[in-house]
Structure 1
Amino acid sequence: MICLKAFSSPLHLPTLRRIAPPSSALRTRIAAMSSSSSAVAAPVEHIVLLKARPEAVASGAAAAMALATQVPGLAYIHAGPVLRLRSPAAEALGPTHLLHSRYATKQDLASYAAHPAHVAAVQGHVLPNALDTTAVDWVNAAELPSPVSPGSAVRLTLAKVKEGVEVAQLVEKVAAATKAAGEAKGAKVSFGENFSPARAKGYQFGMVAVFDSVEELDAVEGDGKVEEAKAAVRPLLDEVVVLDFVVEAAGGAPSPASL
């Protein structure tokens, strides 16, 4: 997890320091990390969107935004590039990379944020390489878990509600809409109200829809039930960031990461 509570506006950072890309062992640990408590129904989700400096991307240093993966309380973590931006708000925000992590409780999230290994990763690798960050946290309000495995394709949605609309209304509407749509083309979802507004640039709601592959994700476009679900919640929304990413597949058989 990367918590940058003080930075809700573009960062003015020192010149990029070249960093060697992460080792294959580190990439394997990140990709294969799995939850030891898959029965937990309501994980805490943490999303950080990062806009990397152009020179960081060009040098490969963006891939070396080191992550403290061996810290108690961390159930799952993925960091990597954005596959594609799917909405005008996403294009305006311009994230190039993201981090997605999961915790069993809010206390686990808070403990990880304060851990020296996490702080060192942020100060040593993230701040020198990031122009801007956006972070959202929520407790999963979906009925079922949304397991993530190496090779999964994920659609992330962040939303602001219209004036006069309570975020709880949106959560209820999304719960009803996703239930009505069923597991559209194999999607598993997690969604909820953001509880870290200081870092979220006004985004009040977050959702991830997890698919087994990019092909399955692409297959939902134009699906009748999915379009009905979108139509049901659209009147409540003001601004929406939608983007896709893929969880890197490491060598060897992957272990599911699920809460």
Structure 2
Amino acid sequence: MICLKAIPSSRLHLPLLASSPLRRHRPSAVVRAAAMSSTAAPAIATPIEHFVLIKVRPEAASSGAAAAMVSSLQALSTLVPGLSYIHAGPVLRLRSPAAEALGPTHLLHSRYATKPDLAAYAVHPDHVAAVQAHVAPNALDATAVDWVNAADLPSPVAPGSAVRLTLAKVKEGLEVAQLVEKVAAATKAAGEGKGSRVSFGENFSPARAKGYQFGMVAVFDSVEELDAMEGDAKVQEAKAALRPLLDEVVVLDFVVDAPAAASL
């Protein structure tokens, strides 16, 4: 996990609850070039999911320091044992008021077969060096969550995939495990969204999560497939069933780009 001691820690969308109108576009060529990602993630049935949302300084984005940060994190894919998958890159769009208030500009998503693998990644010298040299100097804020996938099937991520991330706080008096059960039933009823693959579970690392107790990703083959889900009646029914359980939700989308070598 990214350990950023120097950085202050300052509704559920199923694959698909949009609180703000869609802006139908792909990242610019400059943004896409900065968002290099590894090849398709291995289909681990119950991966440990690790997400860090990063709000970079405006000057870092304009100077190229943010792109260097992305590259340094992406390079960990060949340096850290036990790291099954990693993607670092810009956020495509913020989809809820809570996401807009949090304001992340970039994110890191990585996967591990076990919790010890995640713990080893956190203290690995190459990871620590990347954080100290590139993340800490350029980040205004960071939010991190970890969960064990509670979905029935794996959710592999391939280059070009569009991913929706949801982080949620549950209503007072509700156990997070109850929400996990409801989400499992809701995604099954919604058909897991016409080609989407989901991973969800209870956050087990509260220290840097800003109170978010639940995480979920829905992976689609393209932005167009993700956008097409907005009008699906079964998905809307599933969202309606889950809304009363939720207190606050961060929802955002990002695109996993092909690695630089793939274009050679």
Measured at CA, do residues 252 and 126 of structure 1 come closer, stay the same or move farther in structure 2, by a change above 3 Å?
Answer: closer
Q: What TM-score, normalized by structure 1, do the two folds share? A: 0.86
Matching of residues 1-259 of structure 1 within 5 Å: 1-4=1-4, 7=7, 9-10=9-10, 30-32=37-39, 34-35=41-42, 38=43, 40-65=44-69, 66-67=72-73, 68-69=76-77, 70-251=79-260
| Cα distance in 2, alignment partners of residues 3 and 242 from structure 1 | 23
The question of whether the paired residues in 1 share the 8 Å contact of 2:41 and 2:156 is answered with no
| Cα distance in 1, alignment partners of residues 40 and 170 from structure 2 | 34
| Cα distance in 2, alignment partners of residues 47 and 206 from structure 1 | 9
| Cα distance in 2, alignment partners of residues 84 and 246 from structure 1 | 10
Superposition deviation, residue 207 in structure 1? 0.2
Backbone CA RMSD of aligned residues: 2.0
- Greater mean deviation of Cα atoms: 175-184 or 46-55: 175-184
Q: What per-residue deviation string (whole Å, max 9, x for no partner) do you get for residues 140-174 of structure 1?
A: 00000101011000000000001011100000000
Measured at CA, do residues 112 and 251 of structure 1 come closer, stay the same or move farther in structure 2, by a change above 3 Å?
Answer: closer
- Structure 2: gaps of 5 or more residues: 11-29
Measured at CA, do residues 27 and 156 of structure 1 come closer, stay the same or move farther in structure 2, by a change above 3 Å?
Answer: closer
| Cα distance in 2, alignment partners of residues 240 and 71 from structure 1 | 32
| Cα distance in 1, alignment partners of residues 8 and 177 from structure 2 | 24
| Cα distance in 2, alignment partners of residues 84 and 62 from structure 1 | 17
Superposition deviation, residue 194 in structure 1? 0.2
Measured at CA, do residues 129 and 222 of structure 1 come closer, stay the same or move farther in structure 2, by a change above 3 Å?
Answer: same
| Cα distance in 1, alignment partners of residues 7 and 58 from structure 2 | 19
Number of residue pairs aligned between Structure 1 and Structure 2: 237
Aligned residues: percent identity?
Answer: 79
Measured at CA, do residues 27 and 234 of structure 1 come closer, stay the same or move farther in structure 2, by a change above 3 Å?
Answer: closer
The question of whether the paired residues in 2 share the 8 Å contact of 1:33 and 1:75 is answered with no
Letter in 1 for 2:60: A
The question of whether the paired residues in 2 share the 8 Å contact of 1:8 and 1:134 is answered with no
Q: What TM-score, normalized by structure 2, do the two folds share? A: 0.85
| Cα distance in 1, alignment partners of residues 41 and 182 from structure 2 | 30
Superposition deviation, residue 6 in structure 1? 7.0
Measured at CA, do residues 121 and 33 of structure 1 come closer, stay the same or move farther in structure 2, by a change above 3 Å?
Answer: farther
Residue 158 of structure 2: SS of its match in structure 1?
coil
Measured at CA, do residues 158 and 226 of structure 1 come closer, stay the same or move farther in structure 2, by a change above 3 Å?
Answer: same
Superposition deviation, residue 27 in structure 1? 7.0
Letter in 2 for 1:198: A
Q: Tell me what 2:17 maps to.
A: none
- Structure 1: gaps of 5 or more residues: 11-20, 255-259
The question of whether the paired residues in 2 share the 8 Å contact of 1:7 and 1:199 is answered with no
